[in-house]
Amino acid sequence: MACIVAKFGGTSVADIERIERAADKVAAEVKRGHKVAVVVSAMSGVTNQLVQYCNDLSNSHDEREYDTVVSSGEQVTAGLMAIALQKRGVNARSWMGWQVPIICSEVHGKARIEQIDGTRMLDRFKEREVAVLAGFQGVTEGGRITTLGRGGSDTTAVALAAALNAERCDIYTDVDGVYTTDPRVCKNAKKIDKISYEEMLELASLGAKVLQVRSVEMAYKRDIPIQVLSSFDEAIGSDLPGTLVTREEDIMEQEIVNGVAFTKDEAKVTLFNVPDSPGVAAKVFDALAQQNINVDMIVQNISEDGAVTDITFTVPENELDKTMNALKIDDLKGAQIRTDANITKISVVGIGMRSHAGVAQTMFRTLANKGINIQVISTSEIKISVIVAKEYLELAVRSLHSAYGLDQE
Which positions touch a second copy (CB under 8 A)?
Answer: 16, 19-20, 50, 53-54, 56-58, 61-62, 64-69, 71-73, 75-76, 78-80, 82-84, 86-87, 93-94, 96, 98-99, 143-145
Kindly tell me which of 83 and 395 has the beta carbon lying closer to a second copy: 83
The least CB distance from residue 316 to a second copy, in Å, is 22
Indicate the pairing of strand 3-8 with strand 35-40. Answer: parallel
Q: What single-letter amino acid sits at 167? A: E
- Is 257 within 8 Å of 352 (Cβ atoms)? yes
- Is 7 within 8 Å of 38 (Cβ atoms)? yes
Q: What single-letter amino acid sits at 114? A: E
Kindly tell me which of 18 and 345 has the beta carbon lying closer to a second copy: 18
The least CB distance from residue 153 to a second copy, in Å, is 16
Q: What single-letter amino acid sits at 215? A: S
Distance of CA 212 to the CA centre of its chain: 2
Q: What values do phi and psi take at 393, rounded to 5?
A: -50, -60
CB-neighbour burial class of residue 60 (10 A; exposed 0-12, middle 13-18, buried 19+): exposed
Kindly tell me which of 58 and 277 has the beta carbon lying closer to a second copy: 58
Cα–Cα distance measured from residue 296 to residue 314, given in angstroms and rounded to the nearest whole number: 5
- Whether the link from the prior residue into 101 is cis, omega within 30° of 0, is yes
The least CB distance from residue 408 to a second copy, in Å, is 40
Kindly tell me which of 79 and 352 has the beta carbon lying closer to a second copy: 79
Cα–Cα distance measured from residue 191 to residue 186, given in angstroms and rounded to the nearest whole number: 12
The least CB distance from residue 54 to a second copy, in Å, is 6
Cα–Cα distance measured from residue 385 to residue 49, given in angstroms and rounded to the nearest whole number: 34
Nearest to 89 by CA among 38, 120, 129: 129
The least CB distance from residue 22 to a second copy, in Å, is 12
The least CB distance from residue 46 to a second copy, in Å, is 10
Kindly tell me which of 104 and 158 has the beta carbon lying closer to a second copy: 104
What three-state secondary structure class fits 340?
strand
Cα–Cα distance measured from residue 372 to residue 361, given in angstroms and rounded to the nearest whole number: 14
Kindly tell me which of 83 and 299 has the beta carbon lying closer to a second copy: 83
The least CB distance from residue 98 to a second copy, in Å, is 7
Count H helices, E strands: the chain?
12, 20
The least CB distance from residue 403 to a second copy, in Å, is 49
Kindly tell me which of 4 and 96 has the beta carbon lying closer to a second copy: 96
The least CB distance from residue 255 to a second copy, in Å, is 44
Distance of CA 247 to the CA centre of its chain: 18
Cα–Cα distance measured from residue 7 to residue 40, given in angstroms and rounded to the nearest whole number: 6
Kindly tell me which of 106 and 407 has the beta carbon lying closer to a second copy: 106
The least CB distance from residue 63 to a second copy, in Å, is 10
Kindly tell me which of 94 and 366 has the beta carbon lying closer to a second copy: 94
Kindly tell me which of 51 and 185 has the beta carbon lying closer to a second copy: 51
Cβ neighbours for 231, distance < 8 A, ≥ 6 positions apart: 8, 9, 11, 12, 18, 21, 22, 25, 172, 173, 174
Cα–Cα distance measured from residue 274 to residue 300, given in angstroms and rounded to the nearest whole number: 10
